[in-house]
């Protein structure tokens, strides 16, 4: 049998065009199982090109990605974040304070009061009220509970203290100026 006749017998029943056959030019090692797998692919060239340059992915990775229902915007909130672990996210999930409430803690210097912020003590336990315009109101001061100075409860009223301060100033001025 001549070579041409053998080729003609092989080609009988062939429905591929020369263009289609030329796509296989230079391909070696394909077996029927590979062609069966390729026939089952229903992704477009554009979709397949999204994986161009990706290496190391396994089925488990793709399964995890398929389960993600976050938007790109939500995922981009984590852009640049490093060092977070599941325990950190669990702690954050338990926080129910608003941004405004959290901002009450946004102070410049520990131990120094600021308007509309929490009052904190510094490392030595001291609290400094920033200026003379700050008031400290101990609403529960009733002579039994309230303000202590050096561990001793102040049992007098503010009115009595103010009168004593005025009297004390008068006496001191009389001594200084010879009154």
Question: Is 107:122 a contact under the CB 8 Å cutoff?
Answer: no
The pLDDT of residue 69 is 92
The model's pLDDT over 134-147, given as tens digits with 9 standing for 90+, comes to 777 888 778 788 88
* pLDDT attached to residue 171: 58
Mean pLDDT (whole number) for 89-104: 90
Q: What is the DSSP string of 29-54?
A: S--HHHHHHHHT----HHHHHTTTT-
**Residue-averaged pLDDT of the chain:** 81
The CB-side HSE value for 8 (13 A sphere, CA atoms) comes to 5
Residue 178 pLDDT > 70: no
pLDDT band at 12; cut points 50, 70, 90: confident
Higher-scoring residue by pLDDT: 165, 87: 87
Nearest to 111 by CA among 100, 98, 124: 124
Q: Indicate yes or no: pTM above 0.75.
A: no
Band the pLDDT of 73: cuts 50, 70, 90: very high
Mean pLDDT value across residues 93-114: 89
Question: How many other CB atoms are found less than 10 A from the CB of residue 128?
Answer: 13
Closest to 101 measured CA to CA, from 77, 122, 118 = 118
Average pLDDT over residues 118-147: 80
- For range 46-52, the mean pLDDT: 86
Lowest-confidence pick of 23-27, 47-51, 92-96: 23-27
More confident residue, 145 or 167: 145
pLDDT at residue 13, rounded to an integer = 73
Q: Name the residue ranges covered by the structural domains of the chain.
A: 69-133, 144-179
Alpha-carbon span 144 to 168, nearest angstrom: 25
């Amino acid at each position: 049998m001549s070579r041409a006749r053998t080729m003609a017998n092989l080609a009988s029943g062939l429905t591929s065009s020369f263009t289609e056959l030329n796509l296989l030019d230079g391909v070696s090692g394909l077996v029927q199982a590979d062609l069966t797998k390729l026939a089952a692919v229903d992704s477009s060239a554009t979709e397949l090109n999204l994986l161009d340059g990706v290496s190391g992915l396994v089925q488990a990775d793709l399964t995890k990605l398929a389960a993600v229902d976050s938007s790109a915007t939500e995922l981009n909130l984590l852009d640049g974040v490093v060092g977070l672990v599941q325990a950190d996210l669990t702690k954050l999930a338990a926080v129910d304070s608003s941004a405004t409430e959290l901002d009450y803690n946004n102070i410049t210097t520990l131990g120094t009061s600021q308007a509309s912020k929490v009052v904190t003590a510094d490392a030595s336990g001291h609290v400094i009220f920033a200026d003379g315009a700050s008031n400290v109101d101990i609403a529960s001061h009733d002579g039994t509970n309230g303000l202590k100075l050096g561990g001793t409860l102040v049992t007098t009223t503010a009115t009595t203290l103010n009168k004593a301060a005025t009297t004390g100033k008068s006496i001191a001025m009389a001594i200084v100026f010879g009154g």
